[in-house]
């Protein structure tokens, strides 16, 4: 009997030892195809979910995102070089950089000042719509994906999660970023591929709006009040809204796939640690952030 037990014990693989850790090369060989398959599966599942609820996502959710999409695309019209907002912001930044000791005649300094003024002005113009209509669209998508009934979610259920989303964006952003960084650990390539696909599609629509609407407005070929430019601009804004809805669906499905992993963040009201990250992978490990 002792010989049999020794034989069975010796036949166990080396990884069964509690103090043994697998080699990194073996983990890489297993995780890389899984991450690639997960990214493709998330895209297919997102498109299938969008088509399965096509009427709701292209009507209610897209219309909720329409004002935000219009603010994003129309902000390029307001930030033309001839407008009064952009030169004032650019001049203030130049004065600030000159006071900090940057050379005023440098081309790099002028380019950075111009791009930074455009980014700040763009964020100021779109912030009210991002905190209202964009969050309402995201709330409607979240409710639709979590709805077990066949009926579309009501506006009351949408507004019920609007306040938590708004508070997260305003006062809880740092915690959301911390949770996201831990949650996508080991899935960075999948997250980047999904984000790249959505951003390329939105950038294409923005380029189309720049070419068809903004360019015509700047060159004076068509007035902003003409029927052709209004109808074409409305159609482009609606396409941008649908892409924003699809991007939210992709984010929600990716979030659900990340929740299936073993990483989590637990808030602690008592103790020396403000946040603790528990990883239950191959025995588990704890990381604590002290205040």
* Eight-class DSSP state of 264: E
Please give the pLDDT value at position 81: 59
* Beta strands across the sheet bearing 273-279: 263-267, 273-279, 285-290
Cβ pair 176, 168 in contact under 8 A? yes
**Mean pLDDT across the chain:** 75
Measured between alpha carbons, how far is 13 from 23 in angstroms, rounded to an integer? Answer: 13
Question: Which tokens belong to 38?
Answer: 């997960």
Report which of 188, 195, 227, 229 is spatially closest to residue 211, judged by C-alpha positions. 229
SS (H, E, C) 162-191: HHHHHHHHHCCHHHHHHHHHHHCCCCHHHH
pTM of this prediction? Answer: 0.71
Mean pLDDT for 136-150 is: 86
> Strand ranges (DSSP E) for the chain?
263-267, 273-279, 285-290
**Could you tell me the residue ranges of all domains in the chain?**
28-260, 263-291
* Eight-class DSSP state of 287: E
User: Which position has the higher pLDDT, 137 or 228?
Assistant: 137
Measured between alpha carbons, how far is 191 from 193 in angstroms, rounded to an integer? Answer: 6
Task: Indicate the SS3 state at residue 23.
Answer: coil
| Least confident range of 43-52, 101-110, 117-126 | 101-110
Please give the pLDDT value at position 173: 73
Please give the pLDDT value at position 133: 95
Question: Which tokens belong to 171?
Answer: 């006062």
Q: What does each C-alpha distance from 84 to 76, 105, 121, 210, 216 come to in angstroms?
A: 13, 23, 11, 20, 20
Measured between alpha carbons, how far is 210 from 79 in angstroms, rounded to an integer? Answer: 12
Cβ pair 278, 264 in contact under 8 A? yes
Specify which of 88-92, 118-122, 272-276, 277-281 reaches the highest per-range mean pLDDT: 118-122
Residue-wise pLDDT for 177-212, tens only, equals: 888 888 887 788 888 888 898 899 999 999 999 888
User: Which position has the higher pLDDT, 279 or 128?
Assistant: 128
Mean pLDDT for 263-278 is: 45
Q: What does each C-alpha distance from 142 to 155, 245, 255, 259 come to in angstroms?
A: 12, 10, 11, 15
Q: With bands split at pLDDT 50, 70 and 90, how would you rate the model's confidence at 100?
A: confident
Is pLDDT at 265 greater than 80 in this prediction?
no
Please give the pLDDT value at position 222: 53
């Amino acid at each position: 009997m002792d010989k049999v037990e020794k034989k069975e014990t010796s036949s166990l693989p080396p990884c069964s030892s509690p103090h043994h850790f697998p080699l990194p090369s073996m983990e890489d060989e297993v995780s890389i195809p899984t991450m690639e398959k997960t990214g493709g599966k998330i895209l297919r599942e997102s498109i299938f979910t969008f088509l399965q609820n096509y009427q709701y996502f292209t009507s209610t959710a897209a219309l909720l995102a329409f004002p935000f999409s219009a603010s994003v695309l129309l902000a390029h019209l307001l930030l033309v070089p001839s407008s009064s907002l952009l030169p004032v912001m650019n001049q203030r930044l130049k004065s600030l950089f000159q006071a900090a000791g940057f050379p005023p005649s440098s081309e790099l300094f002028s380019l950075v000042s111009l791009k930074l003024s455009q980014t700040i002005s763009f964020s100021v113009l779109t912030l009210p719509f991002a905190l209202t209509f964009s969050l309402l669209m995201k709330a409607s998508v979240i409710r639709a994906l979590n709805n077990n009934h066949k009926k579309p979610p009501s506006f009351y259920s949408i507004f019920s999660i609007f306040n938590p989303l708004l508070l997260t964006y305003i006062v809880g952003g740092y915690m959301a970023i911390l949770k996201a960084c831990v949650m996508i650990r080991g899935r960075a390539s999948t997250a980047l591929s999904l984000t790249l696909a959505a951003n390329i599609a939105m950038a294409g629509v923005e380029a189309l709006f720049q070419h068809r609407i903004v360019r015509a407005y700047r060159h004076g070929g068509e007035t902003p009040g003409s029927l052709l430019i209004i109808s074409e601009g409305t159609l482009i804004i609606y396409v941008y809204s649908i892409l924003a809805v699809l991007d939210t669906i992709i984010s929600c499905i990716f979030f659900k796939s990340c929740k299936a992993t073993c990483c989590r963040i637990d808030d602690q009201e008592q103790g020396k640690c403000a946040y603790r990250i528990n990883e239950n992978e191959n025995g588990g490990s704890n990381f604590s952030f002290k205040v």
